[in-house]
Chains A and B, each alone.
Chain A
Amino acid sequence: MIRKLIGSFGIAEILLALSVLILVLVVAVPVILILWTALFVNGSLNVKDIVNILSRPDTYEALKNSLVIAGGVTFFSTIIGVFFAWLVSRTDLPFKETMKVLFLVPFMLPSFIGALAWKMLLSPRSGYVNKFLSGLFGWDGSLFNIYSLTGIIAVETMYLFPFVFIQVAGALERMDPTLEESARISGAGLITITRRITLPLMMPSIAAGALLVSLYSLAHFGVPAILGTERGIYNIPTKIYEQIYQSGGSFVAIRTGTILSSILIIAAGLILYLQSLVLKAGRFQVIAGKSMRPMLLKLRSLKIPLLAFSILYILITVVLPTATIFLVGSLKTYGIRFTMENMSFDNLKYILFQWKMTKDAIWNSFYLSLAAAFVTMIVGTLISYTIVKMKVRGKFILEFLGVLPFSVPGTVIALGVILVWSGKFGINLYNTAWIIFVAYIARYMAFSLKSNSAALEQVDDSLEEAARACGATHWQTLKDIVIPLIKPGMVAAFFLIFLPALRELTTSVLLYGPTTRTIGVAIYALNEDGETVYAATLASVALVIIIVGQLVIKRITRSRIEGV
């Protein structure tokens, strides 16, 4: 039996072992260590302290806030997302295609930069909108206070609703139109059809989108950090940050951090599990075969008002904050009026060419994201191949480990990586760029796996078998057939990681050292230090990089599709 076991060790088994090793080291160990540190003190299970820590007023408050924020954001995102998805897929709203693209723009922009902009617009006394309105109506100037739970919920909603929008719009478009037509011919009018047929069939997509929104909100650092921390409003990630940084890394602080992280892990795991149930239930969605268009509601007199509303929404939530960032970024001093004399390109030149801190930050972000994207792409391909193509027992371990990072928020990964790589096992990466690098790989591995798995699944087994039948060995088949066909997927994986890594804040804010700031961290730090204008300038640079990056990706992926 053992001889058979050893004798049958082939490529498949080696790949499996390698993949498991990588995923375990990079993903599983940090998470396990967090759970361990949270539950065990000096080797023995200690639940009493956990209860104490959680019932402390400040931690308790943070937990409560997280729930309130996540709940509010999910609720409003769902309503807005479903509404706009329905508007764009099922009515005769003009300029639908443009609208679809515009509604997805918030996806691209980092929400913490949005928070920054809204801070500039709606902070109680110095906010531009408040100042404008008080000037107009003679009020005291505190009409809107962005430093509140409401403010946080509002800003997060603006940036997270596309999750629901995409799911529901996609499902509406993919839905077999004859499902609604058969209801019509059965005698049902539009309202009855929407109520009894369309909405129930949409439930899985709505739920999937809503769950995703709640997960992101719970795990989100940037918006609550910028809009909440000053007034003492914390959620779990910001609380963890506060513990780690403000308390100077004391044992209790770390313990609190790990306990809160564990709660995040459990919550995230629960949400993902619910999502898998929901998606399984929704698997009966029939993809329409014939090219018959679904029933469109004629808006008639509501057409112009709804169009105006949609445009207004986009103006307020996308254009206004973005414009604010660019404008404030070119001001000589914060707070002065927007006139030609008060604006210049000097800030830009300073940020880009003179100030070491910002130059380093930009450089760090670039090479860290490129390196992480590259490594994750290669490793992800290897692991995906093992999961999808290899017929070997024990694959499920890989599948499980691969999904794990999805459920681990950036803060938690950062904390876990700190625990593992700060000297505990002999290697100390703390305060170096390496620790950020490792954290990025852990954070984004799941995306690479997903994208590469999807590409690999498109490569039919018969294509590989045909090569084997032609005399090609396993490796030759990989080289000549599989890799050329999954190249687009690999490239997509690369960009799927490069851009988000470039602009992220949540993970690097816990890991940066004096010389390893990222762009996100730099913007955040500038804001903390009161350098609002420079924060805005750097933010505008970040926005430009992101937008250019998106356009480049679109160009590349489109040309690949046409080329193949």
Chain B
Amino acid sequence: MSHVKLKDVTKRFGKVIAVNRLNIEIPKGECFSMLGPSGCGKTTTLRMIAGFEDLDEGEIIVGGKMFSSSFKKYYLPPEKRDFGMVFQAFAVWPHLNVFNNVAFPLQIRKLSNAEIAERTLRAITYTGLSGCEETYPNALSGGQKQRIALARAIAINPTVMLLDEPLSNLDPKLREEMRFEIKDLQRKFGFTIIYVTHDQSEAMALSDRILVMSDGIVQQIDTPLNIYQNPANQFVFGFIGLSNFLPVELEDGAIWIEGAKSAGPVNATLPLQAKARRLTLATRPSEIDFVHEGGVRGIVKRLTYLGDLIDYRVSIGDVEVRIQKNRKREIFREAEPCGLIFNKILWYERQL
């Protein structure tokens, strides 16, 4: 029995289909991310779940209760949906102190003063803001403001938490820290998380499952591991992690990098379904091995030290291949000839 269910959800803005027949089922307690480039429809989807936008077609069901339905012409307004929500720009009220910000949803629900105080203080403690109850938001840093937003969201003990790019306005170190705080809160309270982000490393680090979206259409829903290792299509492959897309052609029963026959054939087996003569070879920079003799021949064009890693650009004919290796294994220098062995190859059709 899934906790959050989207059935054939569609949303149009004028002629543009922002979200196209979305079907999602999220079990209770899962951390579910929606990932994609800006404009892909992930934020619109979240806003439909929250109730800020009404869907054009489909249904949204949470905890067995119908929240939006185009068939039954039903729409529950956001204030009745009992979600906890955190926004990108924090949305913390500047004219209320920390306590009143966090207590607000409890005050709306007309709980007793004692209960409001207890739950508010508890939420404040859990988000590490103890001692700041009387402080006003503009005296606090970005990270602390986001904690206020988190405390306010968990104060009502929601079953589902909606997070709309909550960390993108924070600096990188803080972002990492806050990721784990959010995960810890989830572990403690057991709520379901629906998380929207354009940062794939964030999605990878946080999620139980990721939905990769593009132009309103689902590309893949899977665990981070599977999305990385078995991407459903070229878009997903290119969106998650670093990638090389090399044009290849089949000739004389062997695979060649396009325009670089002199470099030697690629040692790989094609999948049986491959029919076209020209294909795209996809491989990760971390999955390519260097050899001194043999392999596909190329020349090291550029070498960049990135701390622990070295980033290589190798030219094979007109094609440039990106390889990343740990600096302890520095093998080649700039302008040196080398050989490449490609591993974990995925094949895609040529996209013009």
Say if the two chains contact directly (CB < 8 Å): yes
Please indicate the chain B residues that have their CB under 8 angstroms from the CB of A176 in the complex: 89, 91
A182 touches B95 (CB 8 A): no
Complex: how many Å from CA A14 to CA B81? Answer: 66
A286 touches B105 (CB 8 A): no
* CB of B75 within 8 Å of the partner chain: no
* CB of A10 within 8 Å of the partner chain: no
B79 touches A189 (CB 8 A): yes
Q: How far is the CB of B146 from chain A (nearest CB, A)?
A: 12
Q: How far is the CB of A274 from chain B (nearest CB, A)?
A: 18
* Closest A residue by C-beta to B164: A178
* Bitwise interface map of A from 365 to 404 toward B, beta carbon under 8 Å scored 1, else 0: 0000000000000000000000000000000000000000
* Bitwise interface map of B from 88 to 106 toward A, beta carbon under 8 Å scored 1, else 0: 1101111100000000110
Contacts A201-B95, A284-B94, A284-B138 hold; do A185 and B81 have CB atoms under 8 A apart? yes
List, sorted by A's number, 12 A–B pairs whose CB atoms are closer than 8 Å.
A179-B93, A182-B152, A185-B78, A185-B84, A186-B79, A186-B108, A186-B156, A187-B79, A188-B104, A188-B108, A192-B108, A284-B138
* CB of A181 within 8 Å of the partner chain: yes
* CB of B332 within 8 Å of the partner chain: no
A185 touches B79 (CB 8 A): yes
* CB of A183 within 8 Å of the partner chain: yes
Chain B residues 67-89 with CB under 8 Å of chain A are: 77-85, 87-89
Q: How far is the CB of B235 from chain A (nearest CB, A)?
A: 24
New A-B pairs, 18, CB < 8 Å, besides A176-B91, A183-B104: A176-B89, A178-B87, A179-B93, A181-B52, A181-B91, A185-B79, A185-B83, A185-B162, A186-B105, A186-B152, A188-B104, A200-B95, A201-B93, A201-B94, A284-B137, A286-B89, A289-B89, A290-B88
B78 touches A179 (CB 8 A): no
Complex: how many Å from CA A186 to CA B106? Answer: 8
* CB of A184 within 8 Å of the partner chain: yes
* Closest B residue by C-beta to A201: B95
* CB of A197 within 8 Å of the partner chain: yes
Complex: how many Å from CA A185 to CA B163? Answer: 12
Chain A residues 150-192 with CB under 8 Å of chain B are: 176, 178-179, 181-189, 192
Complex: how many Å from CA A110 to CA B277? Answer: 80
* CB of B50 within 8 Å of the partner chain: yes
Complex: how many Å from CA A201 to CA B81? Answer: 25
Shortest 9 CB-CB contacts between residues of A and residues of B: A186-B105, A182-B91, A178-B91, A284-B94, A187-B108, A178-B87, A185-B85, A184-B78, A200-B95
Please indicate the chain B residues that have their CB under 8 angstroms from the CB of A197 in the complex: 93
* CB of B149 within 8 Å of the partner chain: yes
Chain B residues 163-195 with CB under 8 Å of chain A are: none
* CB of B328 within 8 Å of the partner chain: no
A187 touches B138 (CB 8 A): no
* Bitwise interface map of A from 277 to 298 toward B, beta carbon under 8 Å scored 1, else 0: 0000000101001100000000
Please indicate the chain A residues that have their CB under 8 angstroms from the CB of B87 in the complex: 178, 181-182
Cross-interface CB contact of B79 among A184, A196, A200, A284, cutoff 8 Å: A184
Please indicate the chain A residues that have their CB under 8 angstroms from the CB of B138 in the complex: 284
A187 touches B93 (CB 8 A): no
Please indicate the chain A residues that have their CB under 8 angstroms from the CB of B109 in the complex: 187
Complex: how many Å from CA A178 to CA B50? Answer: 13
Question: Residues of B with Cβ closer than 8 Å to A?
Answer: 50-52, 77-85, 87-89, 91-95, 104-105, 108-109, 137-138, 149, 152, 156, 162
* Closest B residue by C-beta to A286: B89
Please indicate the chain B residues that have their CB under 8 angstroms from the CB of A192 in the complex: 108
Q: How far is the CB of B324 from chain A (nearest CB, A)?
A: 34
* Closest B residue by C-beta to A190: B79
Q: How far is the CB of B31 from chain A (nearest CB, A)?
A: 19
Please indicate the chain A residues that have their CB under 8 angstroms from the CB of B82 in the complex: 187
Q: How far is the CB of A296 from chain B (nearest CB, A)?
A: 12
Please indicate the chain A residues that have their CB under 8 angstroms from the CB of B149 in the complex: 182
Complex: how many Å from CA A188 to CA B79? Answer: 6
Complex: how many Å from CA A196 to CA B107? Answer: 11
* Closest A residue by C-beta to B108: A187
B89 touches A185 (CB 8 A): no
Please indicate the chain B residues that have their CB under 8 angstroms from the CB of A188 in the complex: 79, 104, 108
A182 touches B94 (CB 8 A): no
Complex: how many Å from CA A199 to CA B297? Answer: 70
Q: How far is the CB of B167 from chain A (nearest CB, A)?
A: 15
* Closest B residue by C-beta to A203: B95
* Closest B residue by C-beta to A184: B78
Complex: how many Å from CA A179 to CA B93? Answer: 7
Q: How far is the CB of A193 from chain B (nearest CB, A)?
A: 9
Please indicate the chain A residues that have their CB under 8 angstroms from the CB of B91 in the complex: 176, 178-179, 181-182
Please indicate the chain A residues that have their CB under 8 angstroms from the CB of B89 in the complex: 176, 178, 286, 289
Q: How far is the CB of A16 from chain B (nearest CB, A)?
A: 34
Please indicate the chain A residues that have their CB under 8 angstroms from the CB of B79 in the complex: 184-189
Please indicate the chain A residues that have their CB under 8 angstroms from the CB of B77 in the complex: 184
Q: How far is the CB of A71 from chain B (nearest CB, A)?
A: 27
* Closest B residue by C-beta to A193: B79
Please indicate the chain A residues that have their CB under 8 angstroms from the CB of B104 in the complex: 183, 186, 188, 196
Complex: how many Å from CA A286 to CA B79? Answer: 23
* Closest A residue by C-beta to B137: A284
Among B80, B82, B105, the one with the most A-chain Cβ atoms within 10 Å of its Cβ is B105
Q: How far is the CB of B330 from chain A (nearest CB, A)?
A: 38
Please indicate the chain B residues that have their CB under 8 angstroms from the CB of A200 in the complex: 95
Q: How far is the CB of A92 from chain B (nearest CB, A)?
A: 15
Cross-interface CB contact of B105 among A187, A289, A290, cutoff 8 Å: A187
Please indicate the chain A residues that have their CB under 8 angstroms from the CB of B84 in the complex: 185
Please indicate the chain B residues that have their CB under 8 angstroms from the CB of A289 in the complex: 89
* Closest B residue by C-beta to A176: B89
B85 touches A182 (CB 8 A): yes
Q: How far is the CB of B120 from chain A (nearest CB, A)?
A: 13
* Closest B residue by C-beta to A186: B105
Please indicate the chain B residues that have their CB under 8 angstroms from the CB of A178 in the complex: 87-89, 91
Complex: how many Å from CA A201 to CA B85? Answer: 21
Complex: how many Å from CA A184 to CA B138? Answer: 22
* Closest B residue by C-beta to A192: B108
Q: How far is the CB of B202 from chain A (nearest CB, A)?
A: 19
* Closest B residue by C-beta to A180: B91
Please indicate the chain B residues that have their CB under 8 angstroms from the CB of A284 in the complex: 94, 137-138
Q: How far is the CB of A46 from chain B (nearest CB, A)?
A: 48
Q: How far is the CB of A178 from chain B (nearest CB, A)?
A: 4
Chain A residues 201-224 with CB under 8 Å of chain B are: 201
Complex: how many Å from CA A179 to CA B152? Answer: 13
A181 touches B108 (CB 8 A): no
B93 touches A185 (CB 8 A): no
Q: How far is the CB of B153 from chain A (nearest CB, A)?
A: 8
Please indicate the chain B residues that have their CB under 8 angstroms from the CB of A187 in the complex: 79-80, 82, 105, 108-109, 156
Q: How far is the CB of A363 from chain B (nearest CB, A)?
A: 53
Please indicate the chain A residues that have their CB under 8 angstroms from the CB of B152 in the complex: 182, 186
Please indicate the chain A residues that have their CB under 8 angstroms from the CB of B162 in the complex: 185
Complex: how many Å from CA A15 to CA B261? Answer: 72
Please indicate the chain B residues that have their CB under 8 angstroms from the CB of A182 in the complex: 85, 87, 91-93, 149, 152
